Every structure is written in structure tokens, then in C-alpha cells.
A = this chain, B = another copy of it.
Amino acid sequence: MNSDHIYNVGLEKNKANYTQLSPLSFLKRAASIYPNKVSVSYGDTHYKWSETYSRCRQLASALQQRGIDQGDTVAVMLPNVPAMYEAHFGISMAGAVLNALNYRLDADAIAFMLEHSEAKVFLFDREYSDVVKGALAKLKNKPLVIDVDDPLYEGGEFLGEIEYEDLLKEGAPDFDWHLPDDEWDAIALNYTSGTTGDPKGVVTHHRGAYLNAVSNMMAWSMPTHPVYLWTLPMFHANGWCFPWTVAAMVGTNVCLRAVREESIYALIKKEKVDYLCGAPIVLNMMANAADHLKQGIEQKVNIMTAGAAPPAAVLEAMQRMGFEVIHVYGLTETYGPAAVCAWHEEWNELSIIEQSELKSRQGVCYPMQENLMVANPDTMEPVKKNGETLGEIFFQGNIVMKGYLKNPDTTAKAFKGGWFHSGDLAVWHEDGYIQIKDRSKDVIISGGENISSIEVEGALYRHPQVLEAAVVARLDDKWGETPCAFVTLKDGEESSSEELIEFCRNNMAHFKAPKTIVFGPLPKTSTGKIQKFKLREQANQLT
């Protein structure tokens, strides 16, 4: 619109009619309207929203007094404890950027990240003191180190200058924080694990965090006052923005230090949890838990899963238990979920197997994401919506990162052509739903045919004795590559390579069936993703 247009003259932005979007506003609102509602529950500790708000203000105030300034990085290495939740607000209230580190990384990786992010402050939990000690020893510029002393953990050691609760005492509970000057300002930095080279630092902003926090609620039809169980690590893409979603809906955060089936089911029953997120491995753990744990749940439990296409068999198992599973898809670069397998009521009429198959698709644009396409990465031409042509998944919209920190070349590559390149390969179904077939690098090319490792895994998961399966390419003189499957059987169960290969051949095109089966536990990342690059090495060392 022209600037001299009647709708633009004398109608400028001002303090009364324009506010920067930031999820910090959700915390302020929750505390002002529901000050006495439980915000955070952890063991015997229960905070109210007024207390969480005060504690976050204290954190912000203390950080500022210790010299933290606009755009400084504050790193944390914490499990899902109350301090981790508070970090999602208090650090940005000081104008700083939250860098939540993966607590399963080694000292080298942590040292790299602390240095690359130029972290000024570092909060950590005693459980990781060995790694932290090693990482700190490698740093030239040491951050201010703060010990978070969780009384529910025994072991480890203090390495910091001050303990977290003492730090809070330095801060003012009525600290006069303010919203960011610009909603495009960074709110968080998250390093992607990266299978090659150095980790990349994904920078997100207040606007995106605000919008995806609300998207979560829309995608899930989440009402006011959810009781949300923290089975998903908050360091993982900021817990898919759920720290902010729970504040927006004035829910209760049920914290959880370690993800075990006993504690999950105990908390679901005790706290009346009705929402939780988790990688498929968490669903798998829940589905395979002992029957007595599963009994006595009175409320409906809604589960959001992502990270990989959940095997239909696991989805089925959860559904049979009466849990409502929603399947989303996204990356750290998209604030967690950026696509959702939006449900259609008429699908309820289908068999549970057909439902699971539909649900294993990654689906459509998340509510506040703008565009999604499957396209040829060279031409950027969308593929046909035929459920067969493979292409790369691309996103456009406000739920896409600012870029990679201090990495303009990789940033430019990621945004080439005005779309975010996900690196994931999918088909586009006639109804507009996408389905991931593989990461670019995970496709197996056998005798010139593309084989989706995920499809082969899906077949294996349907076998009653299989607990987990991962399929990678194995170099082959004749075929170029052949599918090689790594399989973990369920406790006390037995099977053979021959039986599993035969089972696959009966359920899919013969050339797709694995040629090799290896039994044993699977190497995983801290977020439960199977580390296929390790399996690929292993496959090629087989004799």
C-alpha cells in the first residue's frame, strides 16, 4: 500500500496499538490471572504461577546485575527440572539468549558450543559435572558457572561460583523486565547434533516462539489448564515450544528428571497428566511397559510424537490403550513441529491398521506455518501429488529459524530459492499429506531402485517379536547397495534372520527386503534417534 494512502496516513504504530510478540507475555498473563494455580510440579516441589513469574524475574534481575546484557548467550545443561523451565523465561527477560545444551554430549562438543555461542553464563546440573569439568578445562574464556542443585539427584559435584537458588536471591522478584525491542530478536540458540562437521547453531526469535507455542495448542485443540508431562527434553528445540504453550494455556508443567516407564505412568496417574510429547522411542517404551503400570488411568491422555515416522505397530498399541496419538514433524530449524498429520473424522470409521497407516504420515502445514511443499531440490518444482514421486520437503513461514549462528554460507544454502531446505525426502499424497520416505542420505539405492529405509523398518516393526529396527545401505558389488537391518528383539523373544527376511518379503516388494539382519541393541542419540551413520559403518565392516 502506498505510504500516502488514506489507510496509511495518521495511522502509524504507537505504544498503545503495537506490541512485540514474545512468549514472555504468556507468563505475565498467567501469573496475573491465575497466580495461585500450580505452574510447576516436581517431586514434592510445587510452584504457583505467581511464584514462577517471581523466580523468573529474579533470574533475569540477577543475570543483569552480574553483567548480562542484550543479546548475550546464557547456556544451560539441565534435565527437565524447574530451573530448566524458568530458564525459558528468565534468560530472555534479561534480554539474553537461551542456549540449551544436549546433556548427553561429550566434553569436546560442549566446549565447542560454549565457545561458539560466546556464552557468558553457564548453568548445569551435577549429574553432568564430569563432562562439564572437561569442557570448561578446554575454554579460554570461561563463563560464569552456576550450579543447579537438584535435591532429587545424588552424585556429581559442584563446579560453579554460586548455586542457582542463591543466585535467584540476588535478584528482585519485581524486576522491571521488558519485552524485546524487536520480535525478530533472538530468543534461543539450539545446536543440531550434526552427523558431519561442527554442530550448527540454530537461532530462533521471539515472534516464531510465540506463534509456534500457539500453533501447538491449535494443532492439539488444547484447552485451558492442560497438565503437561515433560517426557520430551526441553533442550530439544526448546521442548518444541511447549514451555511457552503451557504458560499460554496456564497449565501445569509436570517435571521429570529421567524418562522411565514407571515414573511416566506413576505421574500420569498422580498428577492427572493429559498431555505429553515424546519421540517414538518413548511411545515404544510406554506401549511395552508392564500391564500393572498401565492400569488405573482415568483421564484421556493425549500424546504428540515426532522425530521419525512412528511405526504403525506402536501407534496401534497406543491407540488400543485408549491414548490419543497425534503425529507431528519438524526440525530444530522449525522450532520443533512444523507439520501435523491433521485428523479427519471420517477416518475413525477405518480399521485401526488403516488408521495407523494414515497417522504415520507427516501430514500438512502446522497451524501457523505458512507453506509446505515436496519438490525437486534442483529445480524447486513441486512433485506430483501421487504418493510416489520422491522429493525434498521445503517450508516457508514464521516457524522457520533466523538462520545458523555465525554461519552465513550454510544459512544461505538452507534458504536457497526462498524456501527452507529440510533435507528430508518425502512423497506427496493426493490429499496433500506428505509422508517422509527418508533423509536424503538414508535412501538405499539397490540395482538402480530407490528403497526407503523407513518402509523396510515399517515392515520389520510389524513382526511380533521385533522391538526396534533400523535399516541402512550396505555396499554390494553386484547391486551397488542392499538393505541391511539392525534389529532388537523384545525381552525373552527369539527369531532368526531367515524368518525376518521371509516376513519382509511377504509384506513388500522382494527387492526391498533386507539382505542382511544383525541382532543387538541400537546406538542412539540423546533424543532417542537411532544413529544410522554408526550402523552404516558397522554394515560395511560386516564380513
Q: Which residues of A contact B (CB under 8 A)?
A: 1-2, 5-19, 21, 25, 29, 32-34, 70-71, 95, 97, 118, 180-182, 184-186, 189, 203, 214, 217-218, 221, 223-225, 248-249, 342, 344-345, 364-365, 367, 370, 395-398, 400-403, 405-408, 411, 414-415, 418-420, 432
**In the bound complex, do residue A185 and residue B7 qualify as a contact, i.e. CB atoms below 8 Å apart?**
yes
Q: How many copies does the complex hold?
A: 2
**In the complex, residue of chain B having the shortest beta-carbon distance to the beta carbon of A215:** B214
Q: Which residues of B contact A367 (CB under 8 A)?
A: 29, 248
Q: Which residues of B contact A14 (CB under 8 A)?
A: 415, 418
Q: Which residues of B contact A118 (CB under 8 A)?
A: 6
**Once bound together, how far apart are the Cα atoms of A184 and B3, in whole Å?**
12
**In the complex, residue of chain B having the shortest beta-carbon distance to the beta carbon of A223:** B221
15 further A-B pairs in the complex, CB-CB below 8 A; given A17-B403, A214-B218:
A1-B70, A7-B189, A8-B71, A9-B406, A11-B402, A14-B418, A15-B418, A16-B414, A16-B419, A17-B415, A25-B370, A29-B364, A32-B432, A214-B214, A223-B223
**In the complex, residue of chain B having the shortest beta-carbon distance to the beta carbon of A333:** B17
**In the bound complex, do residue B33 and residue A364 qualify as a contact, i.e. CB atoms below 8 Å apart?**
yes
**In the bound complex, do residue A182 and residue B1 qualify as a contact, i.e. CB atoms below 8 Å apart?**
yes
Q: Looking at the assembled complex, report how far the CB atom of A414 sits from the nearest CB atom of chain B, in whole angstroms.
A: 8
Known: A70-B2, A342-B33. A184 touches B13 (CB 8 A): yes
Chain A interface, >50% SS class: loop
**In the bound complex, do residue A411 and residue B11 qualify as a contact, i.e. CB atoms below 8 Å apart?**
yes
**In the bound complex, do residue B1 and residue A34 qualify as a contact, i.e. CB atoms below 8 Å apart?**
no
**Once bound together, how far apart are the Cα atoms of A365 and B28, in whole Å?**
11
User: A396's contact among B19, B186, B402, by CB below 8 Å, is which?
Assistant: B19
**A and B contact pairs by CB, cutoff 8 A, 8 listed:** A1-B70, A1-B71, A7-B405, A11-B203, A13-B184, A16-B414, A32-B364, A33-B342
**In the bound complex, do residue B203 and residue A7 qualify as a contact, i.e. CB atoms below 8 Å apart?**
yes
Q: Looking at the assembled complex, report how far the CB atom of A465 sits from the nearest CB atom of chain B, in whole angstroms.
A: 38
**In the bound complex, do residue A398 and residue B21 qualify as a contact, i.e. CB atoms below 8 Å apart?**
yes
Known: A70-B2, A71-B2, A415-B17. A218 touches B7 (CB 8 A): no
- Closest 6 pairs (CB-CB, A-B): A15-B418, A221-B223, A10-B408, A7-B186, A11-B402, A17-B400
Q: Looking at the assembled complex, report how far the CB atom of A29 sits from the nearest CB atom of chain B, in whole angstroms.
A: 6
Known: A221-B223, A432-B33. A11 touches B71 (CB 8 A): no
**In the complex, residue of chain B having the shortest beta-carbon distance to the beta carbon of A346:** B36
Q: Which residues of B contact A9 (CB under 8 A)?
A: 406, 408
**Once bound together, how far apart are the Cα atoms of A95 and B1, in whole Å?**
8
**In the complex, residue of chain B having the shortest beta-carbon distance to the beta carbon of A417:** B16
**Once bound together, how far apart are the Cα atoms of A16 and B371, in whole Å?**
9
